[in-house]
């Protein structure tokens, strides 16, 4: 049997993954095209385009190289009975914690505003705030959310965590200067940041979205920013990626755009993690980090 490596890679990324996985799984046959579809029983995938896993009659395990599996779950070519494991990698959690800290620091110390002022050639110091004066809500308390809470805590912020199990969100939104979204994208969280929830945030608060673009209703966010209800948005993720060249987020002075880099999969560590799961599967042992499809993550 063989393992299919599939995803939205450029040629260099594909070669890097192929080499690392081949080194980590020397006993396996690894392919990048399903030429012999009936020989493939495992797929290792990085956010593959819809349909990439169609027509694999012997597929028995899917290992994602991405932490978020919303695209795979929305793909009707992915058989619902085949176990699907997500990537859980401490290296990604730490990368996410770094990005979260950078975003929160940039907002606390007004560095987002100084970037705009530099563009405009404007010298204007702002009053300096302490970390313990900034209340941050972290939405999503999975592995990444917990790593972010620890990092922000260690840096002195007033951090409150929230997960969908807790229900009521509005009180926390009203009490936070920065809302940092790390929720999985599920039917329950899609469009979470709509006009109503943005209005429930404190006036002048900021939104940091490091999860999925579809958590946010773009037009509602732009309206909240333009009305001064929100101070700033740091956005790493978008409905369509790459973000289209004419999207208003690009040039908006109150929006910081990142090209989906908050926590990229680190191929060096993730290849070993994927390989360990493949070996567990071959040995008939429980596979780690299986997705609960009824929960959506």
For the question of residue 247 being annotated catalytic, the response is no
How far apart CA 198 and CA 5 sit, in angstroms, is: 40
How far apart CA 198 and CA 206 sit, in angstroms, is: 10
Q: Which of 22, 260, 279, 282 is catalytic?
A: 260
Decide the pairing of beta strands 135-139 and 158-162: parallel
- Is residue 145 a contact point for ligand GLV (CB under 6 A)? no
How far apart CA 231 and CA 229 sit, in angstroms, is: 7
Q: Which of 7, 34, 68, 161 is the binder for ligand GLV (CB under 6 A)?
A: 68
For the question of residue 212 being annotated catalytic, the response is yes
Please, which of residues 69-108 interact with ligand GLV by CB under 6 A? Answer: none
Q: Which of 66, 162, 193, 238 is the binder for ligand GLV (CB under 6 A)?
A: 66
Contact (Cβ atoms closer than 8 angstroms) between residue 17 and residue 24:
no
Q: Considering beta carbons, is residue 230 or 237 the nearer one to ligand GLV? A: 237
- Is residue 67 a contact point for ligand GLV (CB under 6 A)? yes
Contact (Cβ atoms closer than 8 angstroms) between residue 236 and residue 262:
yes
Contact (Cβ atoms closer than 8 angstroms) between residue 231 and residue 110:
no
Name the segment binding ligand GLV (CB under 6 A); options: 14-22, 62-70, 139-147, 278-286: 62-70
Sign of CA dihedral 169, 171, 172, 177: positive
Closest CB to ligand GLV: residue number: 68
How far apart CA 87 and CA 295 sit, in angstroms, is: 17
Q: Which of 265, 267, 273, 275 is the binder for ligand GLV (CB under 6 A)?
A: 265
Q: How far is the CB of 127 from ligand GLV (least distance, A)?
A: 35
Name the segment binding ligand GLV (CB under 6 A); options: 63-71, 111-119, 175-183, 244-252: 63-71
Query: Residues in contact with ligand GLV, total (CB under 6 A)?
Result: 4
DSSP category for residue 290:
B
Strand order in the sheet with 61-64: 29-31, 2-7, 40-46, 61-64, 84-85
Residues recorded for the chain: 297
- Is residue 143 a contact point for ligand GLV (CB under 6 A)? no
Name the segment binding ligand GLV (CB under 6 A); options: 66-74, 187-195, 221-229, 268-276: 66-74
Catalytic residue numbers read 212, 260
Summarize as ranges the residues that interact with ligand GLV (CB under 6 A). 66-68, 265
């Amino acid at each position: 049997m063989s393992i299919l490596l599939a995803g939205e890679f450029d040629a260099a990324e594909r070669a890097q993954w192929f080499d690392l996985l081949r080194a980590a799984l020397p006993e396996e046959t690894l392919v990048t095209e399903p030429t012999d579809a009936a020989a493939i029983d495992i797929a290792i995938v990085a956010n593959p385009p819809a349909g990439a896993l169609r027509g694999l009659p012997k597929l028995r395990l899917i290992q994602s190289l991405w932490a978020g599996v919303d695209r795979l779950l929305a793909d009707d070519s992915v058989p619902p009975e085949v176990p699907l494991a997500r990537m859980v990698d401490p290296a990604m959690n730490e990368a996410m914690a770094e990005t979260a800290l950078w975003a929160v620091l940039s907002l606390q110390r007004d560095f987002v505003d100084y970037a705009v002022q530099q563009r405009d050639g404007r010298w204007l110091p702002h009053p300096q705030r302490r970390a313990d004066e900034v209340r941050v809500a972290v939405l999503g308390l999975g592995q990444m959310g917990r790593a972010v809470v620890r990092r922000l805590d260690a840096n002195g912020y007033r951090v409150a965590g929230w997960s969908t199990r807790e229900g009521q969100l509005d009180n926390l939104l009203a009490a936070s200067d920065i809302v940092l979204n790390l929720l999985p994208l599920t039917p329950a969280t899609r469009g979470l940041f709509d006009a109503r929830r943005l209005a429930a945030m404190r006036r002048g608060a900021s939104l940091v979205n490091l999860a999925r673009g579809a958590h946010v209703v773009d037009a509602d966010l732009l309206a909240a920013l333009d009305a001064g209800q929100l101070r700033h948005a740091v956005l790493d993720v978008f409905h369509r990626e790459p973000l289209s060249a004419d999207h208003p987020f690009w040039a908006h002075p109150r929006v910081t755009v990142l090209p989906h880099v908050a926590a990229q999969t680190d191929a060096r560590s993730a290849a070993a993690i994927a390989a360990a799961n493949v070996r567990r599967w071959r040995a008939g042992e429980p596979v780690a980090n299986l997705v609960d499809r009824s929960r959506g993550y």
